[in-house]
Homo-oligomer: A and B are copies of this chain.
Amino acid sequence: MYIILSFVLLYILHLPMSILNYNRSNNPRLSESQEDYLKEIFKLNEVNTTVSLQDLADRLKVKPASVTGMMKKLKQLGLVTYEPYKEVALTDVGEAIALEVLRHHRLLELYLARHLNYSWDEIHEEAERLEHVISEKFEAAIAELMGHPTHDPHGDPIPTIDLEIPDSPNLTAVTAVKENNHAIIRRVMTQDSDILNMLSRLDLTIHSKITVTGKDNAGIRIRVNENQYLLPHSIARFVWVELASNI
Contact = CB atoms under 8 A, between A and B. Distances in A.
A163 interface: no
Contacts of A126: 134-135, 137-138
Given A126-B138, A138-B126, A116 B145 contact: yes
A137 B125 CA distance: 12
A234 B142 CA distance: 36
Contacts of A134: 126, 129-130
Interface string A115-151: 1111000100110011011110110011001000000
A125 B145 CA distance: 21
A118 to B, nearest CB: 7
A129 B133 contact: yes
Interface in A160-213: none
Contacts of A112: 138
Contacts of A130: 130, 133-134
Contacts of A141: 116-118
Interface residues of A, number: 19
Contacts of A133: 129-130, 132-133
A152 B132 CA distance: 25
Contacts of A122: 137
A11 to B, nearest CB: 34
B116 A142 contact: yes
B138 A116 contact: yes
Interface in A86-116: 112, 115-116
A167 B145 CA distance: 34
A109 to B, nearest CB: 13
A122 B137 CA distance: 10
Contacts of A115: 115
Given A116-B138, A126-B134, 13 more contacts: A115-B115, A116-B142, A116-B145, A117-B141, A122-B137, A125-B135, A126-B137, A126-B138, A129-B133, A129-B134, A130-B133, A132-B133, A133-B133
Interface of A: 112, 115-118, 122, 125-126, 129-130, 132-135, 137-138, 141-142, 145
Top 8 A-B residue pairs of the complex, sorted by shortest distance between their CB atoms: A129-B133, A116-B141, A126-B135, A133-B133, A130-B133, A126-B138, A117-B141, A116-B138
